[in-house]
Amino acid sequence: MIRLPLRRSLAGGALAAPLLAALLAPLALAAPAAGQPSAKPKPADRPADKSRVAAAPVIACPSVANYRMLMHDGAPAAAATLGDPKADHLGCAALPRNRIGGIVDRVTLGGRSYDCAAVKDTTVCHWMETGTLPASGEAGWR
């Protein structure tokens, strides 16, 4: 077996400690110490801004079948589809809450319930999942 001599630093390892400390210092500043809360609260820890929730548009369709097809992949995918001018919107739209009236019809399909709400300036109600709109008399609803 061949043994190679180990090289020592000029100061007997004294240069390695400051170099290692300089490399690890940014990591220590970026991560909070164990047991200390992080500086920024997580989104789940922050109180919900109810004015934004009440003012958020509602995705609705004149046909419950089209609503189910649009929402199949979830609300974020449906919002992306509605935001794409070249996509087939299936007659659906993101309606501002001030255009939505009362619930005029309800149906349950495949274990999920849907409401059809009156929409201002049209005679056709628009379908959305039950619970999308606040109950009558709650804050954010007229």
Q: Is the pLDDT of residue 24 over 70?
A: no
Residue-wise pLDDT tens digits, 36-94: 555 555 554 555 554 455 568 999 999 999 999 999 999 999 999 999 999 999 999 99
Q: Is 120 exposed, middle or buried (0-12, 13-18, 19+ CB in 10 A)?
A: exposed
pTM: 0.58
Number of alpha carbons in the 13 Å side-chain half-sphere of residue 104: 13
Burial 35-47 (b: 16+ CB within 10 A, else e): eeeeeeeeeeeee
pLDDT top residue among 128 and 142: 128
- Which of 5-9, 86-90, 112-116 shows the lowest per-residue confidence on average (mean pLDDT)? 5-9
**Dist. CA 76–CA 91, nearest whole Å:** 18
**Dist. CA 142–CA 55, nearest whole Å:** 12
137 phi and psi, to 5 degrees? 95, -15
- The pair of structure tokens assigned to 11 is 């100061």
